[in-house]
Structure 1
Amino acid sequence: MSVLLADLKMLLKNQKTVLNLFCIGFLKEHQQFARIWKCIEETLKGRSSALAVHVVRFKNFVIEGMIGSTSAWSIVRCLNSAELWSVFFEFSNSCGFHDAPDFRVNFENHLDGLRGLEEGFRFQLHISIKTMRKEYLTAINEFPSFSESLFDFQLTFEELQHQDDSDTVLNDNLFVAKEGFRKWSIQFCDTNPRVQEPPVDTVEEIGRPVLENALLMQSVLEHLECFDIQRLRKVNKGVRKCIDEVKPDPHIKKFLITFDLRPSALQTESSVLLESGEFENISYKAKTSRCLNDFETTLKHQKSCMEELSIVFQFTIFERLDSCIEFCTGIEEILKRREQPLKTRKFSMAYVCQLEMKEILQTLDKDSLKIIEFSNPSDEECMEFFGREVPFKVDQLSQTDQWKTAEHLIIKDLTIPASIQDINILHFSNLEVLVKTLSFQDVDYLRTNLLKSSNFQKFKIFFRESSLDEQLHELIGEPFRIISESKKIWYFRMDNVNFYIHIVLDTHDVKDIYGKLKPKVIIFTRVDKEDTPFFDLGMEELALD
């Protein structure tokens, strides 16, 4: 921490040129923020000349009484008034600050901060919060009175309480606007003819040397993630062109896209988790084309390996498959347009038609993909109506390179009608699948081949029907232990004498909440010799030798 503070002090003290962006943000769990803040404040106050910044952004700045908006405005007062043109306060939900029901934003602190400014400051103020409350309105009405310091004021929020009160209580210089499905704003209309907003061209010219220089932008974009890059794209056409030229990695960790076709929903959603932990969820209602456009824009330049890409369809009647095919085709075409196959460690998809699933699976980087999961898109109500068994063919999926090189396969609520011997699974190290039928020949096939496997760890196979009778004992031998008539255990030594295969067969009749029988299960597990009942016996025999 001492080294960080020393470097930070040196940078702030010796900065001569104008900074395009000065961003200060804290994580909730950070224990050293008070020391960092003190270093920033003291260094800026000790400079021989005010730090020149175009845009200052305070992120996750809500710890009132310790470091909050009052302290933030003390930073603003230390900046060069002639160069400053934007101040942002973002009370983000990425760190969970405002999740508590008693959290309140103190707008009086912001008004006091404006009152404490010296002459010469003239900028736009943008505050972003989670919930707009009725109690905020009185203080918000005072912001237009600072038109000498503010040429623009905007307050954005996701939830609006008491909209009727907001419309009637707000003064004439403020108005409420809805921007998209989950965003509202209160905006300041400056009617003072003596003070005019700087021309857009002038503002753009200030940042253009940096923002439209590909070499400089590359250095900047290396430290930004998806959401910040998207905000930067909105500056102007030249910046967007520069970003498209640099092609920055958005550093996405997980991307979930959901197509909910149930009559009660009929909407699409995207959920994006970044490597830093920032999270954003967007609902598009019926605007699926916009959802697909955002999907392409967000993942177009993803270079690092994601942790998971998940595509989920939800519907209650299979007649809606036509709509699903259209969406699948859109996703497939987007992924194919990428310069390189998308890298993701896990791919999951809730769907039932293997052709569309295969086409999407084949667009992914086979060397990065380790886990494949396919699940049932139907909700519980639909599964109760149609029955719990949803047939799922994998003959084409199992021939893809991605299937052949993956390490873990999960298909737990879709029933594979083919024989376990025909679905190409022996290369997996971990397996959880549901098949319609399991025969004693299937068990022997798995035992024989897994005994020779070098990467096998655990296979968990559920089955609805079986022909596992006494012939199984004749084929693979009597169980090592019989727990009950429906539960038996075997051990088989692998080619590597330090490991055994532990087999548990459980054919209990267990019903689910709908009164239907749950699948039976057989589990193959690789275990160390010392974790078997033969370990002590082996030591005795070794001692005798």
Structure 2
Amino acid sequence: MENLKNFNFAEFEKVLDLEIWRNEENPKNQLRLVFGFNEISERVMETIEKAFSNCSYFESIVIKAKIIDQLSLTKTFGPPKPETDQFEEGHRMEISNSNGDLLIYSFEDGFHYFSRFQKDLESEISSLEGDLEELSICENLECLNLIRNLPEHLKSLCLVPSDSNIPREIFENHIILERVLKNQQLFEIAILEKVSSGIRRSISIIKPDPKIKSILIYLSDPENIQFLISTQNGDRKSLNYKSTGSNTCIVKTHGPTYIKSINQNSRYRFFEDLKKMLRFQKSEIESLRLDFSNLNFFPSPMVFEIDDSETPIDYDLVEKSNLEFLDKFQNVLKKLRPLKIRELSLRCVQEGDLRTVLEFLEPGFLKKIDIEYFCDFRNEKVSRNGILTVPYPDRRSYPRTLELRNVSKMEQWMLAENLEIEKYRILTPIQNFNIAHFKKGKITVESMSSEDVVFLKNIFLANPSLEKFIVQINQCQIDVSLYHPDFLGNPVIASLKAQAWYFQYPESENYLHIKYNVFQSITFSKVHSSVVPAPNQ
């Protein structure tokens, strides 16, 4: 959309008045037109309003322009409407001659979007694809063949620019299409699939790698799924799936922004989209992040008064929602080849949840496991301006403890290199789960004894790839036996708050440095002999 010719009003009006947009065979709400303009005037906005009223084919009309007549914008749409559950604050109006469809104005990255919100649209296509059918009007009316997706009956239009003069059917040839797809990624493949049924069939045979780079799935509350996906070329898209009923939902896409109402359950729609995006993935995915914190469902911890009349929080609903989501997520992963995930990040999970995900990751690719709780102040009273806040109640759905005995035996775990577990206490005794192979790590254990410290010393001395591993201690049971010659012996460096030991790796100039912050944490790291102090220094 960068090289857009600035249209004059007559050309613009002529394009929007073309008969092809009124053809009965055209699917509804399936086309975006893109123009360049010096200024968006009142006449331009009136023409846009008329076009949406006359033709249900337009999903949006996008104009790249530096100037828009703000007075005319208010005159056409009325003053900005307040924010609702479905819409952000902004300009919107009902489209005449429609079934209650709305015309919504938004501005993003230098482009002005005039988009249709269709209330009763039943979608059978991926929500990701909904905004990808695009016709860039960049020179004149003859360049209408730049359209990326038109109905089958418009045989005269092509997929590529007019000067190439290549008809769409050529791209249904497997050899040609396979070469084209080598340089395409998720969003471009989604565009090509919608050009024709022939290309769609060929893509299902070729199975091109969408080259997904990162995935973030966030359950902000039991009715909302927020989804962010990016590809290796830097493109990204954000989608929000929000339930509006038992079998209806709204899918809001950012980049650019548009909203689609769908007569399907939000989770069904999400998992159908996810399956379609991941079905051909072959390359390594840099990160997968799953966040089950449901933070929007709970009141803010920073409350300053207790309201006894407040509706009790339904923790069972959150717990049920998370379990159902993981069950469906597992069903999706079962149907795919094992994913090559480099970094796995999980928020508000238990051991069974971690096993569910790890089971479907290809061993050897996972380098980092990151598990995190969220800070909710539930066991604290925080003073702000001299007023004590009310902590969260204890949440059965969100225990702060983890068991890792079984999951740490999995091959995916054993081949990972980095481990970070934040704001959880690990109940599994330190000698009963596997951490000896990690290069880096940070965890909190429920308790630790002098015997546990010696155990860790021995396993990390057997791991020459160790860089640094921190163990924080909730209930410290380390006693004076730690200083016995059969344990660690006397520290090389000692104070009331911290002590340090150094043990040489076999046949190496490196040493294992053990630093004990008394009653709080113990750190194991590899250092060179040049930094090791002399005894009693």
TM-score, with length taken from structure 2: 0.64
Q: Which residue number in structure 2 is paired with residue 203 of structure 1?
A: 154
Distance 1:175 1:438 in 2: 62
Q: Is 1:139 paired with 2:136?
A: no
- In the other structure, the counterpart of 1:90 is none
Preserved contact between residue 102 and residue 117 of structure 2 (Cα < 8 Å):
no
Deviation at 1:281, TM superposition (A): 0.7
Amino acid corresponding to residue 271 of structure 1 in structure 2: L
Quick check: 1:369 aligned with 2:366? yes
Matching residue of 1:37: none
Picking from 328, 331, 334, the partner of 1:333 is 331
**Greater fraction of residues in helix:** 1
Name the counterpart of 2:7: 110
Matched AA of 1:356: D
In structure 2, what is the Cα distance between the partners aligned to 1:224 and 1:372?
Answer: 30
CA distance in 2, matches of 1:138, 1:116: 10
Change (3 A) 1:525 1:204: farther
Secondary structure of the residue aligned to 1:202 is coil
- In the alignment, what sits opposite 1:18? none
Note the 1:100-179 alignment, pairs <5 A: 109-111=6-8, 114=11, 126-127=32-33, 137-142=42-47, 154-155=60-61, 163-164=77-78, 176=103, 177-178=116-117
Query: Aligned-residue CA RMSD in angstroms?
Result: 4.2
Matched residues in 2 for 1:360 and 1:204: separation?
Answer: 46
Partner of 1:43 in structure 2?
none
Identity of aligned residues (%): 23
- Offset, 1:223: 1.2
2:521 paired residue number: 521
What residue number does 1:395 align with?
405
- Tell me the equivalent position of 1:11: none
Residue 187 (structure 2) pairs with residue 227 (structure 1): yes
Query: In the alignment, what sits opposite 1:31?
Result: none
> CA, structure 1 residues 143+123, in 2 after alignment: closer, same or farther (shift >3 Å)?
farther
* C-alpha distance in 1 between matches for 2:289 and 2:345: 5
Asked if the contact 2:32–2:131 (Cα under 8 Å) also holds between the matched residues in 1, the reply is: no
Higher relative contact order (CA closer than 8 Å, sequence separation 6+) = 2
Partners of 2:425 and 2:444 within 8 A in 1: yes
Residue 496 of structure 1 aligns with which residue?
507
User: 1:351 maps to which residue?
Assistant: 348
For 2:490 and 2:461, locate their aligned partners in 1 and report how far apart those are by CA, in whole Å: 17
Does the C-alpha gap of structure 1 residues 406 and 164 become closer, same or farther in structure 2, counting only changes over 3 Å? same
Cα offset, 1:138, TM superposition: 4.2
One-letter amino acid of the counterpart of residue 229, structure 1: I
TM-aligned CA distance change 1:146 to 1:273, over 3 Å: closer
**Partner residue in 1 for 2:272:** 293
Amino acid at match of 1:111: N
Q: Is the 8 A contact 2:488 2:501 kept in 1?
A: no
Q: Normalised by the size of structure 1, how large is the TM-score?
A: 0.64
Partner of residue 433 from structure 2, selected from 415, 420, 423:
423
Q: Which amino acid aligns with 1:270?
A: F
Contact 1:272–1:280 at 8 Å: present in 2 too? yes
Residue 274, structure 1, aligned to residue 218, structure 2: no
| TM-fit CA distance, 1:468 | 1.5
Residue 385 (str. 1) matches residue 393 (str. 2): yes
- What residue identity is the alignment partner of 1:292? F
| CA displacement 1:503-544 (0-9 Å, x = unmatched) | 222247xxxxxxxxxxx2211111122233359x9xxxxxxx
The change in CA–CA distance for 1:499 and 1:390 in structure 2 (over 3 A counts) is: same
Corresponding residue for residue 40 of structure 1: none
Cα deviation for residue 435 of structure 1 reads 0.9
**Structure 2 residue 311 is the aligned partner of structure 1 residue 324:** no
Distance 1:208 1:485, change over 3 A: same
Shift of residue 270 of structure 1?
0.8
Residue 414 of structure 1, CA deviation:
1.7
Deviation at residue 235 of structure 1 after TM alignment:
2.6
Q: Which residue of 2 aligns with 1:433?
A: 443
CA distance in 2, matches of 1:505, 1:368: 33
CA deviation after TM superposition for structure 1 residue 358, in Å: 0.5
In 2 relative to 1, CA 332–144 (structure 1 residues): closer, same or farther, beyond 3 Å? closer
**CA 1:323–1:481 in structure 2 vs 1: closer, same or farther (change >3 Å)?**
same
Matched residues in 1 for 2:451 and 2:466: separation? 20
Q: Which runs of 5+ in 2 are unaligned?
A: 22-30, 64-69, 80-90, 104-115, 120-126, 136-143, 159-166, 244-265, 299-313, 380-390
Map of 2:415 onto structure 1? 405
User: What displacement does 1:164 show?
Assistant: 3.8
Tell me the amino acid that sits aligned with residue 341 of structure 1.
P
Q: Secondary structure at the match of 2:219?
A: strand
- Within 2, Cα distance between the matches of 1:113 and 1:440? 85
